[in-house]
Structure 1
Amino acid sequence: MQLFTRVILLAVTVFGVSAVPHLAEDIGLEQVLFRMVLGEAEGRGLTPAAQTCANIYLNTTQKNGDKLANATNACEEAANRTNVAYTQTSNSTINQIRQQLLTLEQNLQLCRNETDSAVFLNCTVSTFDKNLQLLDTSNSQAYRAQSQFVSNATQVNAEKSNCISSAVSEAKVQSIQAANDFNSCLDKIAAQREVPQQMEQQQVKPSQAPKEQVPPMPQLMFEDLPLSN
């Protein structure tokens, strides 16, 4: 079983190192892992007990793969929600800038429509400071909003990357644990086979043959002896 175990441990290492964002869009590393294990199992002709260990391992790995996919999807969804919230905040600022520029345009148009020179000058002077303030405020808000766009994107990407990295690390731990459980399962099978063999060896020990007992010689009675002349 050592070669089969090495295939599993190699697959676990590949799974832990290669798990990356957008896992659902890739070929599915857990499926590659299954093919490696199943191919090795079929090639070696596992016993029913060992096949049970392999089935348990594959089922556990499938569940771990599903957990990883769900975790990465949750990271993506959280990032999308954050993006939506940031977009709503940015849109609120942008709408405010639009309104301020509209007010500025209306002020300029109001003065522009005056044909009388004196009235035109009065209109321009009375709205000049207000128009400058609107323009300055709008420009400052536009710069802050533009910087916030970049900052938000960087923050969202960092949070999503950390979230996915944490999910991948957890999946790697679970995969190694599944491989360890598989090895333990095989070790138990080997131990169960050794016990009957030891019992058989003990029963086969040669028994000591009993010593041959020599029957006692019959005692001759004096009266049985022939009389000599």
Structure 2
Amino acid sequence: MHQFIRLVSILSVALLSVSAGPADQSLFRMVMAPFTGDVRALSPAGTTCANNYNNATSKTVDQLTNATNACEEAANRTIVANNLSSNSSVTTVRSQLLQLEQNLQLCKNLTDSALYLNCTVAYFEKNLQLLDNSNTLAYQSISQFSSNNTLVEAERANCISAAVSQAKVQNIQSANDYDTCMSKVPAQREFMASHPQESQEHHEHEHEPEHKHEHEEDSEEVHGDVEGEEN
């Protein structure tokens, strides 16, 4: 059984090493599930060690799930904010191109050749500026969009990696605590075997109802009062 726990610990750490998100915690729970059914094969002291280990690892899984969910939520919030910024840039590009189209249409509607040429010359510099600004902003937006996606994915991966590392540390500590706990079981078993009376009295004392002690104290007080009256 002890070797089984060590195997479970190794497998759970291995799973934590490759975790990429909350969905992977189902694998961790599948690895831990068989251990719960084998607790009955342990001694009472060993069962306590196993229960403590199960509780600790379950807590680690819950903490890892919460942490990875927080990483995903933070990444999603950043994506939404980046999209809003990108949409603002796209709106500006659309507005500038619309102004360019209106200027061109204004000149195009003129039927007089002289007026048409004068209009074209008058709006030429402005139209070039609108076109250049729109083109520059569009390239900047594309580059920023790609950079934002890369940054979000990097931050998400780092966040999850940190959560997994913390869970690995906690799980290894739980395994070490289990080893320490189980190493004390033989000594406890030997003590109980060599001091059966003390062990039984200690066990009975731990489970003795409190009201029994109160009843004995009340009896002693009544007995003392009776002796006082007789004297």
Common fold by TM > 0.5:
yes
Equivalents in 2 of 1:2, 1:31: separation in Å?
Answer: 19
- 8 Å CA contact 1:104–1:135 kept in 2: the answer is yes
From 180, 191, 215, the equivalent of 1:195 is 191
After superposition, the Cα gap between the structure-2 partners of 1:191 and 1:15, relative to the gap in structure 1 and judged at 3 Å, is farther
Equivalents in 2 of 1:131, 1:138: separation in Å?
Answer: 11
Query: Which 4+ residue blocks in structure 1 deviate beyond 4 angstroms?
Result: 196-200
Matched, 1:33 2:61: no
Equivalents in 2 of 1:56, 1:129: separation in Å?
Answer: 78
SS class of match (2:184)? helix
Q: How does 1:132-211 map to 2 (within 5 A)?
A: 132-197=128-193
Residue 199 (structure 1) shift: 6.0
SS class of match (2:20)? coil
Amino acid at match of 1:184: T
Matched, 1:48 2:40: no
Range moving further from structure 2, 167-176 or 116-125: 116-125
Aligned length: 196
Matched, 1:88 2:84: yes
Question: What residue in structure 2 maps to residue 113 of structure 1?
Answer: 109
Matched, 1:124 2:120: yes
Amino acid at match of 1:168: V
Residue 13 (structure 1) shift: 2.9
- 8 Å CA contact 1:12–1:179 kept in 2: the answer is no
RMSD across aligned positions (CA): 1.9
Q: How does 1:53-68 map to 2 (within 5 A)?
A: 53-68=49-64
Equivalents in 2 of 1:57, 1:170: separation in Å?
Answer: 17
Question: What residue in structure 2 maps to residue 22 of structure 1?
Answer: 21
TM-score (norm 2): 0.78
SS class of match (1:28)? helix
Amino acid at match of 1:107: N
From 56, 67, 74, the equivalent of 2:70 is 74
Residue 149 (structure 1) shift: 1.1
Residue 99 (structure 1) shift: 0.3
Residue 138 (structure 1) shift: 0.5
Residue 17 (structure 1) shift: 2.4
Equivalents in 1 of 2:13, 2:117: separation in Å?
Answer: 79
TM-score (norm 1): 0.79
Q: Taking every aligned residue pair, what percent have the same amino acid on both sides? A: 53
Amino acid at match of 1:154: T
Amino acid at match of 2:14: V
Equivalents in 1 of 2:192, 2:36: separation in Å?
Answer: 30
Residue 197 (structure 1) shift: 4.8
Equivalents in 2 of 1:141, 1:46: separation in Å?
Answer: 70
Question: What residue in structure 2 maps to residue 2 of structure 1?
Answer: 2
Amino acid at match of 1:62: S
Amino acid at match of 2:21: H
Q: Which has the higher helix share?
A: 2
Equivalents in 1 of 2:15, 2:116: separation in Å?
Answer: 76
